[in-house]
Amino acid sequence: MRLRKKCKFSTENIADLASLHEDMEAILRKSVDDDDSSPEEFVSKLFTYFGDRPNIQNDMQPDASHEKFVLFMAHTHLKATTVHNVLTGKEKRPEIIDSVKDDLEMLRKTKRSIESGLDRDRSIGIACSKTGSRIYDTLEEQITATTKSITNMVDDLVARA
């Protein structure tokens, strides 16, 4: 497993999310490859996995019960895998494709809004002179600096007028 027991975990860290995905995929593959594979085996292994790594639940859904969190993660992983298989053409069965049509439409709408620039919450501008064109380590720091910069720039222009 890529994520160690009792590991630090943050949804802000893309490496942690990638490791979580790889671990869950490995658990799923091992469950499928076993002779007596069943959905219960996959979920059971996830209970153990997330029980050994409580920081994952604490970062993602701290108020949820352990059982609900594990079932949510199992469902989310299986749904994401199914959508990926449909998008890449690996999945050909019409009933499976029909089961994820709503998810695919949501993805298309999100992609269109990002491409058209309508998704303002997921992007920020970097103000030039006031922040010194500095790119901060976290999104929150960058938004704060940019907001201050834009406010100062407007205030400076108003003060000059």
What's the mean pLDDT when you consider all of the chain? 80
Asked if 76 and 19 sit in the same domain, the reply is: yes
- What's the Cα-to-Cα distance from 88 to each of 75, 77, 83, 152, rounded to whole Å? 20, 16, 9, 48
Asked if 80 and 112 sit in the same domain, the reply is: no
**Each residue of 36-69: pLDDT tens digit?**
667 888 999 999 999 999 999 999 999 999 999 9
Which of the pair, 54 or 123, is modelled with greater confidence?
54
Tracing tokens 């970062």 back to the chain, one arrives at 59
Task: Evaluate if residue 124 carries a pLDDT over 70.
Answer: no
CA distance 133 to 126: 7
Task: Indicate the residue among 49, 72, 91 that finishes a domain.
Answer: 91
CA distance 23 to 17: 10
- Helices and strands counted in the chain (H then E): 7, 0
Domain that holds residue 40: 1-91
CA distance 15 to 105: 28
Asked if 13 and 30 sit in the same domain, the reply is: yes
**Percentage of residues in the chain having pLDDT higher than 70:** 75
**Each residue of 89-109: pLDDT tens digit?**
898 899 988 988 888 888 888
Asked if 17 and 44 sit in the same domain, the reply is: yes
Q: What is the pTM of this model?
A: 0.64
Specify the number of domains making up the chain: 3
Asked if 144 and 156 sit in the same domain, the reply is: yes
Nearest one of 140, 112, 108, 137 to 124, comparing CA atoms: 140
